[in-house]
Amino acid sequence: MPRRVDVAVIGAGPVGLTIANFLGMYGVSVLVIERGAELIDYPRGVGMDDECLRAFQAIGLADNVRPHTTPDQWVRFLTARGRCFASVEPRTREFGWPRRNAFIQPLVDLELLKGLSRYQDVHVLFGRSLSELTEIGDGVSLRIQDGAGATEEVHASFVVGADGGKSTVRKILNIPFSGKTESTRWVVVDIRNDPIGIPDAYLYCIPTRPYVSIALPHGIRRVEFMVFGEETEEQLCSRDGIQNLLQIVMPHPEKADIIRSRVYTHHARLAERFRQGRVLLAGDAAHLMPVWQGQGYNSGIRDATNIAWKLAMVVKGMTSDTLLDSYDLERRDHAAAMISISVTAGKIFSPTQRWLAMLRDGLTLLLNAIPPVKNYILQMRFKPMPRYTRGVVVPLATSRGTAPSPVGRLFIQPDVALDRREIRKFDDAIGPWFAIVAWATDPRLHMSDTVRAFWQNIGARFVAVLPAVQLSAEQTVKSDDLLILGDTGAIKQWFGDHRTSLIVLRPDRFVAAAASTPQAIDEITASLQTAMGASIQGR
């Protein structure tokens, strides 16, 4: 008899492990199938953003991950003469975490793997390759094979292919992976006992040999050098080859304690579709992008955050599987935008023609003299933030003039007060599922019995937010069904700026619906039910 699970995840990289942690938290049975004998341990991602840390917070692992990060990792672009022509120094905590963080990926991935031990119905099989995948009436049949050639059959209701850029799942499904592979290659070197010691990340835009120097946690230094012409990995990663490169950045390259080195090629590719029947693609299996914005890892975690709650709803019978169509609708456009900005950043950083570098240096000198432009770069406002206009989102119930619509955008995460003494992050306070959040009113008072029963049946949280100074006066109206949170100003400002009184938050903290009056809750609930799938049944 085949092993049966709700969801099979192919690939034990960060995306697959994050999806498995989310699904385990939601009570879904998961089998993670990984080709390798253990987690990958070679040069990969080094930049983690605030959205990513917020996802790890949601699965209860942020405190485990943070010791392997360096918060507020600034990125500085230098000309060949050493002038800083751009510096990325975002200081916002809009989503509850630093916007840029350096990290050690193998150590973070290990924390994600260890996190799965919390769930009895989540298991990982290492050393198993996928040989067959066939969709059948009520699920997907998979055949996997170990290193000795022994095979095993697995039956899953759904499959997520998170198995990297060379995805076996994507190839079996014959899903086109359009885009291009850059001719430019880079050699990456990781070094123990940091021989340079300067914090942050520096990108040296030198036409003769562009290179990058990045301070990482635990005394690790990463340096990356552009590869030219017919230079080979064997040459560059040999002892002499590495020392020749390192002499560019340090006086005694022979003393460097090398952990590993590797040559990689930039890719800019996007799968034609992220869903095919009961199979979905996530992470590098769905999109590949150059490293310049450090968004490959983060985009994969966004996929995981988007897909997990939808799979949980479908598996638990809360909605039909049409909900899964919204994953492709919501994630492909943003992934494409991140690929585009990463390609553009690479062209700015690494021109090998001296005249292009001089033109860039002159233009940036001029632009840096314009405060709004400089601030735009410093605060990382060029980063395309996810905004969903299709999928599980509904328009505002009433017009609010020129106020910006919050629908389809990620909600802020300030600290909030549970009482006069206890302060928590907003997401931790409201829990990991849907929430109906209203300013200064109990959202239940404006719902019909049917609508209230619907939200209760799918486990939503009812939340009233009011000024923290009013908490003591409101204790008498608390109940098991209502959470009252004290605001210190950020949430009031958010509701005021958007002229909104009530919102529906999805489990991934995107605003699914909003209303300028709480009396519109029945109307927006009906629209949201349609967006999630007409056959919603509750639990």
Least confident of 52-66, 98-112, 258-272, 440-454: 258-272
The per-residue pLDDT for 181 is 66
φ, ψ for residue 473, nearest 5 deg: -75, -15
Instruction: Specify which residues 502 forms β-bridges with.
Output: 438, 515
Q: String of b and e for 329-354 (b: at least 16 CB within 10 Å)?
A: bbbbbbbebbbebbbebbebbbbeee
Do 310 and 433 sit in the same domain of this protein? no
The per-residue pLDDT for 359 is 47
8-27: per-residue pLDDT in tens?
999 999 999 999 999 999 99
Mean pLDDT of the chain: 86
Do 304 and 453 sit in the same domain of this protein? no
For the chain, what is the domain count? 2
pLDDT grade, residue 390 (50/70/90)? confident
Do 337 and 472 sit in the same domain of this protein? no
Average pLDDT over residues 234-238: 88
pLDDT grade, residue 369 (50/70/90)? very low
Any idea what the CATH number is for the domain that residue 313 is in?
3.50.50.60
Do 285 and 148 sit in the same domain of this protein? yes
Name the percent of the chain lying above pLDDT 90. 60
The per-residue pLDDT for 535 is 45
| Cα 75 from Cα 199, distance rounded (Å) | 10
Report yes or no: 176 and 271 within 8 Å, Cβ to Cβ. yes
Least confident of 81-85, 243-247, 269-273, 351-355: 351-355
Q: Residue 158 is inside which H or E element, if any?
A: strand 151-161
Report yes or no: 158 and 311 within 8 Å, Cβ to Cβ. yes
Is 72's pLDDT higher than 80?
yes
Average pLDDT over residues 392-397: 78
Sorted by sequence, the CB contacts under 8 Å of residue 477 that are 6+ apart come out as 442, 484
Task: Output 179 or 38, whichever has higher pLDDT.
Answer: 38
201 lies in a domain? Answer: no
Do 330 and 420 sit in the same domain of this protein? no
184-208: per-residue pLDDT in tens?
788 999 999 999 999 999 988 888 8
Average pLDDT over residues 394-416: 79
187 lies in a domain? Answer: no
pLDDT grade, residue 379 (50/70/90)? very low
Hunting for tokens 């489990």 — which residue is that?
507
pLDDT grade, residue 357 (50/70/90)? very low
388 lies in a domain? Answer: no
pLDDT grade, residue 174 (50/70/90)? very high
pLDDT grade, residue 373 (50/70/90)? very low
| Cα 333 from Cα 156, distance rounded (Å) | 28
Task: Output 336 or 294, whichever has higher pLDDT.
Answer: 336
DSSP H stretches of helix in 208-353: 233-236, 239-246, 296-315, 325-349
124-144: per-residue pLDDT in tens?
999 999 999 999 988 999 999
At 305 the three-state DSSP class reads: helix
User: What does the DSSP 8-state code read for residue 445?
Assistant: G
The per-residue pLDDT for 402 is 61
Do 11 and 135 sit in the same domain of this protein? yes
| Cα 430 from Cα 128, distance rounded (Å) | 39
Is 380's pLDDT higher than 50?
no
Report yes or no: 208 and 354 within 8 Å, Cβ to Cβ. no
Count of helix runs (H) and strand runs (E) in the chain: 16, 26
pLDDT grade, residue 288 (50/70/90)? confident
Is 539's pLDDT higher than 50?
no
Q: Which of 279, 313, 341 is the last residue of a domain?
A: 341
Do 132 and 26 sit in the same domain of this protein? yes
**Per-residue H/E/C for 52-69:** HHHHHHHCCCHHHHHHHE
82-107: per-residue pLDDT in tens?
777 777 787 888 999 999 999 999 99
Nearest to 279 by CA among 410, 404, 142: 142
| Cα 14 from Cα 20, distance rounded (Å) | 10
Do 272 and 420 sit in the same domain of this protein? no
Do 31 and 166 sit in the same domain of this protein? yes
Instruction: Specify which residues 47 forms β-bridges with.
Output: 102
Sorted by sequence, the CB contacts under 8 Å of residue 447 that are 6+ apart come out as 455, 521, 522, 525
Is 214's pLDDT higher than 90?
yes
Q: Which of 341, 372, 406 is the last residue of a domain?
A: 341
246 lies in a domain? Answer: no
Q: Which of 288, 323, 341 is the last residue of a domain?
A: 341
408 lies in a domain? Answer: no
DSSP code per residue over 333-391: HHHHHHHHHHHHHHHHH---SHHHHHHHHHHHHHHTTSHHHHHHHHTTTTS-----SSS
Give the structural domain span for 162. 3-66+99-177+268-341
513 lies in a domain? Answer: yes
471 lies in a domain? Answer: yes
Average pLDDT over residues 96-125: 95
Do 163 and 272 sit in the same domain of this protein? yes
Do 451 and 312 sit in the same domain of this protein? no
Is 346's pLDDT higher than 80?
no
Task: Output 463 or 375, whichever has higher pLDDT.
Answer: 463
502 lies in a domain? Answer: yes
Do 317 and 430 sit in the same domain of this protein? no
The per-residue pLDDT for 347 is 56
Any idea what the CATH number is for the domain that residue 450 is in?
3.40.30.10
| Cα 445 from Cα 458, distance rounded (Å) | 19
Task: Output 384 or 225, whichever has higher pLDDT.
Answer: 225
Q: Residue 25 is inside which H or E element, if any?
A: helix 14-25
| Cα 425 from Cα 444, distance rounded (Å) | 23
